[in-house]
């Protein structure tokens, strides 16, 4: 598995730094309020677990499963809700936790979906941001790292359901997926 990685892009130490920095930013922005962290499955699970452990204010969590990739390496542009939230969000302050944002299609869809369900506020948090791939103008409130347009795996990110368990983010060798 490690032989499939071209190079490490974000180390374990860099991930830890970003997680703690973002947790502090969210704490400051939501001081005195209860945040509902919504993780987008499956990719956000490692980031969200570490983020809520670093977060020192009151919070609740829930998960959604949405799909726009299938087994490919690029978003299809169509967003499907596979698993919706378990709790009502009317009047809640929500932070969507995502592993990576590229086109912006998924987050734009979910942000509008939450607004239609009367969320009090909706902010977006991601470990990795690919601004060069953006096709939808969307504000990302909390960003771990901006990265170039490369196919990355590890720390929750996958290729065909593999590599999620790597403790860092690496660039997958092109020969694996092309």
- Residues identified as active-site: 102
Q: What DSSP assignment string belongs to the chain?
A: -GGGEEEEEE-HHHHHHHHHHHHHHHHHHTTTS-EEEEEEETTTHHHHHHHHHH--S-EEEEEEEEES-TTSSS--S--EEEE--SS--TT-EEEEEEEEESSSHHHHHHHHHHHHTT-SEEEEEEEEE-GGG--S----SEEEEE--S--EEBTTB-BTTBSTT-SSEEEEPHHHH-
């Amino acid at each position: 598995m490690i032989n499939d990685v071209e190079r490490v892009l974000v180390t374990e130490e860099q991930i830890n730094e970003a997680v703690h920095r973002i947790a502090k930013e969210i704490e400051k922005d939501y001081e005195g309020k209860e945040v509902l962290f919504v993780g987008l499955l499956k990719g956000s699970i490692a980031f969200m677990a570490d983020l809520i452990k670093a977060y020192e204010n009151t919070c609740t969590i829930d998960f959604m499963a949405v799909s726009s990739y299938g087994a490919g390496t690029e978003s299809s542009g169509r967003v499907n809700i596979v698993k919706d939230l378990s709790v009502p969000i009317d009047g809640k302050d929500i932070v969507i936790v995502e592993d990576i944002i590229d086109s912006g299609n998924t987050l734009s869809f979910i942000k509008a979906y939450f607004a239609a369900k009367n969320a009090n506020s909706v902010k977006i948090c991601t470990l990795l941001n690919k601004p060069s791939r953006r096709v939808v103008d969307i504000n990302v409130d909390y960003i771990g790292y901006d990265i170039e347009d490369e196919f990355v795996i590890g720390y929750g990110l996958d290729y065909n359901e593999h590599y999620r368990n790597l403790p860092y983010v690496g660039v997958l060798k092109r020969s694996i997926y092309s």
